[in-house]
Structure 1
Amino acid sequence: MELSAARVFVRDIVAAKRFYGQILGLPIKADGAQHGYCVFESGSADLVVESVADDAPEEDRALVGRFTGLSFKVQDASAKHQELLALGVRFTGAPEKQFWGGVLATFQDPCGNGLQIVELPAAA
């Protein structure tokens, strides 16, 4: 099996489209913003950003503003952290070296979803 897509749920599709496309620099693959979604190219899997209405059921609204578990691979976590900070991205802290050798930094999209940048350890 191969991962085809990951989904992130947002309240404001226009702000999300700008954030993922212009701030993070992910190419847009399908612009369905008028229908509440956008699809971005993100390596081997697509990133689907989907709007959740204010009057949606509580279990759907709970999908917005949480840690997603999604990590974006970067060559240099410190440099990317500084670049994204300069663009107004909110990080929860500075990049931190992990026990397994990589470096992680957690940030939030405009709707409060937690995402990460990850610098993988050099091959031994």
Structure 2
Amino acid sequence: MAQPDFHAFLTRLPHELAFSEDDPASIIDRYYTPDVRYHNDGITLDRQRLIDHVGPARRTATRLEVEVHDTVVEGSMASARYTMTAVTRKDRVIRMEIYLFARYAADGRVERVDSITRPIG
């Protein structure tokens, strides 16, 4: 199995999705398998729904910070607790604590995510 860079998944991926000029599909395909299932707060996103989610983020976010608090990586499984803070074009601050569990495919890309988010202060 390719060694996954879990820290990059948590920190670089959100920045690439929000601020890169690269095609969203190519970014998603770098980090996720084609059959990805991303389960977040009771909603399941497949590859296309992840790609579709990029447009609103790019139109809204002006700043994004990710602070990773805890991670565990063992074999093809990884988990994290981290905080993401986004600032919108209207200067609204959105802070979320995220609990994420990921399963990696043999090629090092994520094939499944289960996450729970909680808005904070």
Using the size of structure 1 for normalisation, the TM-score is: 0.26
Report which of the two has the higher share of helix: 2
Report which of the two has the higher share of strand: 2
Using the size of structure 2 for normalisation, the TM-score is: 0.26
Greater relative contact order: 1 or 2 (C-alpha under 8 angstroms, separation 6 or more)?
A: 2
